[in-house]
Amino acid sequence: MNFEIAGKTAVVTAGSLGIGKATALSLAKEGANVAICGRDEGNLAAAVQDIQSQVDVNIFTSVVDVSDASQIQRFISEVQGEFGAVSILVNNAGGPKVGNYQTVDSQDWVDAYHLTLRSAVTTTELVLDDMKRAQWGRIVNISSFSIKQPIPEILLSNVMRMGVQGWAKSLSLDIGAYGITINTVCPGWTLTDRVKSMLSGTDGDKRQQAIIDDIPLGRFAYPDEIASMVTFLASQQASYITGTAIPVDGGVIKGSL
């Protein structure tokens, strides 16, 4: 299938590792000009090397903490200067601090808002004029299966991601008339370095087996399996899909809808 996004500018925030990097690679394979950001310059350089070893593409990188709205603003104007108008935006970030209602404090709530919800809102608002002018745009949020089935001990993530979906659904009402779609992808357990290191501690094997036992497909996802859905939603072919939250979770969500 030709996704018809060759030559378009795609921004993937937090695109240096894991699901973000796999998404940047997948969009690059479709011929998009890709811009990624992250906090660590070394991670960004390694991502560029990895992606360019697989596809001949220009990649723009910038060191950005997406919790800081002014850094996002600087990043988007750098991308526009380098590649022109932004057509595709993938809102990704790391996960907020883990914990439950007894262990997170009021500053943790503020930090989680900045990292997960405000970053998506800020980045999106900065590219909407480009998309409106083109009468075409694709916005995809990387979320989690936790928006359909909360995960214990990640209270802040559970809450802020539901906020992202509430915002995305609301925004879809306003931007559809411009040919702009916004959707959310909800990964299940995905084998990224972060998850590998999370499962490398004491009882890691037992924890890993317990997770796998709960997944109907009997294994973790690979990052490129999440990226495939993001890339489809970013494509011309996904022109009639907006406001949705789509799990790519191996069946781990047990609800029917």
Ligand X SMILES: NC(=O)c1ccc[n+]([C@@H]2O[C@H](COP(=O)([O-])OP(=O)(O)OC[C@H]3O[C@@H](n4cnc5c(N)ncnc54)[C@H](OP(=O)(O)O)[C@@H]3O)[C@@H](O)[C@H]2O)c1
Binding site for ligand X (CB under 6 A): 14, 16-20, 37-40, 43, 64-67, 92-95, 115, 142, 144, 187, 189-190, 192-195
Cα–Cα distance list, 64 to 35, 125, 178 (Å): 12, 17, 29
Cα–Cα distance measured from residue 14 to residue 74, given in angstroms and rounded to the nearest whole number: 15
Phi/psi zone of residue 14: left (φ > 0), alpha (ψ -120 to 50 degrees), beta?
left
For residues 75 and 232, which CB has a smaller minimum distance to ligand X in the complex? 75
Cα–Cα distance measured from residue 87 to residue 244, given in angstroms and rounded to the nearest whole number: 19
Q: How far is the CB of 204 from ligand X (least distance, A)?
A: 14
Q: How far is the CB of 45 from ligand X (least distance, A)?
A: 11
Q: How far is the CB of 137 from ligand X (least distance, A)?
A: 22
Cα–Cα distance list, 149 to 117, 144, 212, 245, 251 (Å): 19, 9, 16, 13, 12
Tokens of residue 128, six digits: 């909407």
Q: How far is the CB of 120 from ligand X (least distance, A)?
A: 11
For residues 50 and 65, which CB has a smaller minimum distance to ligand X in the complex? 65
For residues 125 and 134, which CB has a smaller minimum distance to ligand X in the complex? 125
User: What's the one-letter identity of residue 243?
Assistant: G
For residues 121 and 195, which CB has a smaller minimum distance to ligand X in the complex? 195
For residues 122 and 192, which CB has a smaller minimum distance to ligand X in the complex? 192
Q: How far is the CB of 96 from ligand X (least distance, A)?
A: 8
Cα–Cα distance measured from residue 41 to residue 47, given in angstroms and rounded to the nearest whole number: 10
For residues 181 and 192, which CB has a smaller minimum distance to ligand X in the complex? 192
Q: How far is the CB of 135 from ligand X (least distance, A)?
A: 30
Count CB-CB contacts under 10 A for residue 133: 11
Angle at 64 between CA 61 and CA 68, to 5 degrees: 155
* Residue nearest ligand X, Cβ-based: 18
CB 109 within 8 A of CB 156: yes
